[in-house]
């Protein structure tokens, strides 16, 4: 579907962007999606050591590839996309290798959890798709009206601002998985929830002071 969309609508939907860049960017999508699925498995199992390690590997490899491009004076957006694609492929391979021991143990249990996972999972996936469209539809509009260069500046600006979410996202990734363990212990939940909330607000206050300073 993505290839057909690029072939038919690349001129009107992505004016000023070459066909080669669009195809390279499209190749990144399935790899990134697979990596996100693997990360969600580690997150669901509360294997935060593996989750954090994989999350760090991809940006580290991307930085390493970009550094090589700078050293060898390989300039161009297509080189940057290839660097990101290469880092994503290697990270996904590492993640699959780290996931292998868990898949052996869970293979016999899949039949009992498969139907329940699909039943609840498609609702979450639909919500994620709608959230993605809501957050990223502005990029298409900026590209149509202002062109690729302005869109690049806009995307970088949005990414810088969204770094303020790092603290809250880290808390959500851990707390939303741990809190059900205290479903029958109301006193512990009453202590844990406000404690985490205070630390998150304190972190945001410190980040805002750094930005304003």
Does the structure show a pLDDT above 50 at 190? yes
Q: Is the dihedral of CA 74, 84, 158, 135 positive or negative?
A: positive
Instruction: Please give the structure tokens belonging to residue 83.
Output: 């660097």
| pLDDT in the model for residue 211 | 46
Q: Is the dihedral of CA 129, 134, 137, 138 positive or negative?
A: negative
Span 104-149, pLDDT tens digits: 665 555 555 666 677 777 777 787 778 777 777 888 888 888 888 8
Gap between the Cα atoms of 103 and 188, Å rounded: 33
> Which DSSP symbol is given to 171?
H
| pLDDT in the model for residue 40 | 83
Torsion of CA 59, 60, 64, 66, to 10 degrees: 20
Gap between the Cα atoms of 143 and 170, Å rounded: 31
Span 8-51, pLDDT tens digits: 776 667 777 778 888 888 889 889 989 988 888 888 777 888 88
Calculate the alpha carbon distances from 167 to 53, 112, 159, 173, 175 in Å: 17, 36, 15, 10, 12
| pLDDT in the model for residue 143 | 82
| pLDDT in the model for residue 44 | 76
Q: Which residue has the higher pLDDT, 54 or 3?
A: 54
Instruction: Please give the structure tokens belonging to residue 18.
Output: 């070459």
> Which DSSP symbol is given to 42?
H
| pLDDT in the model for residue 102 | 75
Span 47-97, pLDDT tens digits: 888 888 998 999 999 999 999 999 988 888 889 889 999 999 999 999 999
Strand, helix or coil at 45? Answer: coil
Q: What is the pTM of this model?
A: 0.68
């Amino acid at each position: 579907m993505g290839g057909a969309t690029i072939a038919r609508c690349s001129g009107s939907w992505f004016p000023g962007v070459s066909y080669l860049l669009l195809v390279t960017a499209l190749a990144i999508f399935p790899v990134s999606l697979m990596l996100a699925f693997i990360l969600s498995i580690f997150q669901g199992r509360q294997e935060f050591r593996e989750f954090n390690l994989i999350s760090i590997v991809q940006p580290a490899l991307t930085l390493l590839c970009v550094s090589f491009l700078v050293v060898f004076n390989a300039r161009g957006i297509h080189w940057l996309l290839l660097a990101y694609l290469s880092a994503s492929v290697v990270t996904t391979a590492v993640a699959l290798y780290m996931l292998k021991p868990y898949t052996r143990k869970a293979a016999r249990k899949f039949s009992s959890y498969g139907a329940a996972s699909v039943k609840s999972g498609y609702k979450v996936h639909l919500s994620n798709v709608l959230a993605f469209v809501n957050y990223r539809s502005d990029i298409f509009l900026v590209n149509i009206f202002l062109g690729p260069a302005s869109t690049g500046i806009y995307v970088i600006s949005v990414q810088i601002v969204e770094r303020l979410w790092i603290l809250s996202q880290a808390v959500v990734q851990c707390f939303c998985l741990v809190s059900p363990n205290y479903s029958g212990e109301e006193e512990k939940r009453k202590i844990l929830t406000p404690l985490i909330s205070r630390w998150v607000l304190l972190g945001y206050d410190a980040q805002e002071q750094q930005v304003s300073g």
